[in-house]
Amino acid sequence: MLSDLIAGLQAVLERPGDPVLIGFAGVVIVALGGAIMMLRRPRPPVARWEEPREPQQPHVQARPFQTAPDVQARGALDEDDDHDHHDGAYPSPSANELQQRARKMGMLIDKIEASRKTRVISIIHRESLESDYLVLNDLEDVLTALNSTPPDKPLDIVLHTRGGLSLAAMQISRAIKAHKGRKTAFVPYYAMSAGTMIALACDEIVMAPHACLGPIDPQIGFPAVSILRVAKQKPVELISDQLLLYADISEKAMREAREHACELMQGTYSTDGSCAISDLLVSGRWTHGNPITVTEAREMGLNVKAGMPADFVDLVRVHRVSRRGGPSVAFR
């Protein structure tokens, strides 16, 4: 059908007539030719998001420990599978590997709970787990664990996270704060941003000598405090509508973070409504990734104890997955 149309247009061009009509016919022929070439060109494969992801182990753990049956139900891939998480950085763990890790973690949790007479809830984020930052699934899991814990039972909250969603952090920390039993946060390596917010809900923070906490200033694409500073420094007529919208959101986020952190610290760090520590953590004095050391945390007034029991370190490292070819750091 297209060939007949093109033949008719060529006939128009070959006989004398209206120059406008002839010019139009020429344009149509060129366009149709280009369209035919595009249709005949082989199309590249289309990337799809619907491809199934490898099953991963939940990153919030507490008794009853049911990770291994869950892995069996999902049907994990073989360890030789070439599909990697996060741009190929980590190999996919097999079902057997996940079950072994689950057993080791369950044994460690049992050991800690028996020796300390506590309920252990670990919030650990890694590329090899369900998520590498705090998400709403964490909120669901922590609330489930807390709901099944006797009200007066002491809590050991193990934190290994770079942060995540403010909604999850706020609700998890509120639920921990409301628990009547004594709450202790353990930070073997780092609990940044939202992880620090959760640690503030506890009565005491136990940190390894070189572990760190982090600032809790909100991030709205960029640091909220930086957005506000730029908006205040420029004349209003030179500020785009988008920046004004971001500044409005940033102002609300800063206020919410400050008020929430201050709320968490009442009774533990302050009885008069003082928000000096939360003000400092939200202020934007540091970049968001700046590590707050044991010494600096104590100088702020946080109730930090140095020294980390080995079982809590093992609890974090049991989920470590080496890169293909082995880990970058080796020691014996």
Q: 222-223 and 219-220 as β-strands: parallel, antiparallel, unpaired?
A: antiparallel
| pLDDT number for residue 6 | 56
pLDDT at residue 85 in the model:
40
DSSP conformation letters of 12-73: HHHS---HHHHHHHHHHHHHHHHHHHHHHSPPPPPP-S-SPPPP-B-SEE-SS--HHHHHHH
Please give the pLDDT value at position 300.
Answer: 93
pLDDT at 265: 93
Residues of the chain with pLDDT under 50: 41-56, 64-88
CA distance 269 to 103: 38
State residue 77's pLDDT score: 25
| Interval 203-247: pLDDT, tens | 999 999 999 999 999 999 999 999 999 999 989 888 899 999 999
Distance CA 332, CA 329 (A): 11
CA 14 to chain CA centroid, Å, is 67
